Amino acid sequence: MAESWSRSKWVFVFVLVFAHFSSLSLAEDGLVANGDFETRPSNGFPSDSISDGPTEIPSWRTNGTVELVSAGEKVSGGMLLIVPRGTHAVRLGNDAEISQEVTVEKGSTYAITFSAARTCAQLESLNVSVPPASQTVDLQTLYNVQGWDPYSISFEAEEDKARLVFRNPGMEDDPECGPIIDDIAIKKLVTPDKPKDNAVVNSGFEFGPWMFQNVSLGVLLPTNLDEETSPLPGWMVESNRAVRYIDSNHYAVPEGKRAVELVSGKEGIISQMVETTPNKLYSLTFSLGHARDKCKEPLAVMAFAGDQAQNFHYTPDSNSTFQVASVNFTAKAERTRIAFYSVYYNTRTDDMSSLCGPVVDDVRVWFSGSSRTEVRILLGLGLALWVYLLFLV
Ligand SMILES: [Ca+2]
């Protein structure tokens, strides 16, 4: 009896220890292992050693010319290398890549946040993949004068291990060109429940990719590969340019802690297909705001709901950084597309080149009463009743 008790106790301890370790190895939200490239390689950082040998990058597998670069370094042209944060980052040469395996939950969706900068004026891009999903992020557009930006893409885990691969697909003449990447973080995405009185999922943009507390640039969301996975659950970025995901620590956000800033004019569209009942009258309402990021006015959005399209200008008000706008529409099908883009291409007043634009938040779609045909039928019935009553009299 005592023996079997002691054995089951050991089994219990073993299960506990096993559970502990298996939960530890799952990727946690935040930086991946050495995701900021600040871990010292065994033979030191290239910048502080005189040896010319190849440097290994702790926690990463490399292929091709991958360099650990330091803030303050210059390339041959005399251009200062941009290191997004901290002291070190990596630069990917022609066709070079770095990768790392992360443990994930099969079937879950993850967002990868990373910072990227281009080194030369050429068409630079970065291919980010979690095989079989793959996406090429265009680094041609400079969204802000600091020369780098955080980006986010998403993938659905098909296995319980995923390999994150960052590759420079370019073939530049100058071997010193090639994107610089830094601050690679992962976050498991949760799709929020749909509220009862609103057909919009993630209506306040509170669910989204990892954001670094002390980074004030927001996170750029490039075009989605498909409708199923988006770093912004429920929403799609449809066009060929990015929108900016912003936080209330650094921007004026109408509701909650997160919102979207439409920074790419007509080329940065966010949309969602919402469930509707055909022939019912609906109202789309949303907050239209100013991010308080010195964005030069006028700010305006074009809002789409089914076959309705309407543009709204942001009217500055000293008491508030946003206003509520609405569009009425009659649903034609069981799913209706709602979408937003910025009417203007705006830049900041201080540097005249950082891209900015109107803020959209708190998007709601709800029944706004009976449809016109229903009203007509009711009026018709009422009239018939009166006629009938008159006959009786
Ligand atoms: Ca919000």
Centroid of ligand 1 to alpha carbon of 204 (angstroms): 4
User: How far apart, in Å, are the Cα atoms of 5 and each of 1, 10, 331?
Assistant: 6, 9, 66
Average pLDDT, the chain: 88
Q: In this structure, are 184 and 102 located in the same domain?
A: yes
Short-list 35, 74, 58, 44, CA closest to 210: 35
Task: Check which CATH number belongs to the domain holding 54 and give it.
Answer: 2.60.120.260
What's the domain range around 197? 189-393
Q: Which two tokens stand for residue 319?
A: 């008491």
Centroid of ligand 1 to alpha carbon of 332 (angstroms): 28
Centroid of ligand 1 to alpha carbon of 247 (angstroms): 9
Q: In this structure, are 221 and 120 located in the same domain?
A: no
Centroid of ligand 1 to alpha carbon of 194 (angstroms): 15
Q: In this structure, are 153 and 174 located in the same domain?
A: yes
Total-model pTM:
0.86
Q: In this structure, are 133 and 233 located in the same domain?
A: no
Domain stops at, among 188, 203, 218: 188
What pLDDT does 3 receive? 54
HSE of 308 in the Cβ direction (CA atoms, 13 Å)? Answer: 17
Whether the CA torsion 148, 152, 158, 162 is positive or negative: it is positive
Centroid of ligand 1 to alpha carbon of 245 (angstroms): 10
Per residue in 45-101, pLDDT (tens digit) is 887 655 556 678 999 999 999 999 988 877 666 677 788 888 999 999 999 999 999
Domain stops at, among 188, 218, 247: 188
Q: In this structure, are 275 and 158 located in the same domain?
A: no
Least confident range of 204-218, 345-359, 377-391: 377-391
Radius of gyration of the chain from its Cα atoms, rounded to whole angstroms: 26
What pLDDT does 1 receive? 47
What pLDDT does 174 receive? 80
Centroid of ligand 1 to alpha carbon of 126 (angstroms): 29
Q: In this structure, are 326 and 236 located in the same domain?
A: yes
What pLDDT does 208 receive? 97
Q: In this structure, are 139 and 263 located in the same domain?
A: no
Residue 20 inside a domain? The answer is: no
Residue 3 inside a domain? The answer is: no
User: How far apart, in Å, are the Cα atoms of 62 and each of 25, 89, 118?
Assistant: 22, 14, 19
Per residue in 287-306, pLDDT (tens digit) is 999 999 999 999 999 999 99
Centroid of ligand 1 to alpha carbon of 95 (angstroms): 39
Domain stops at, among 161, 188, 215: 188
Q: How confident is residue 38, by pLDDT bands cut at 50, 70 and 90?
A: very high
Domain count along the chain: 2
Residue 2 inside a domain? The answer is: no
Centroid of ligand 1 to alpha carbon of 257 (angstroms): 5
What pLDDT does 387 receive? 74
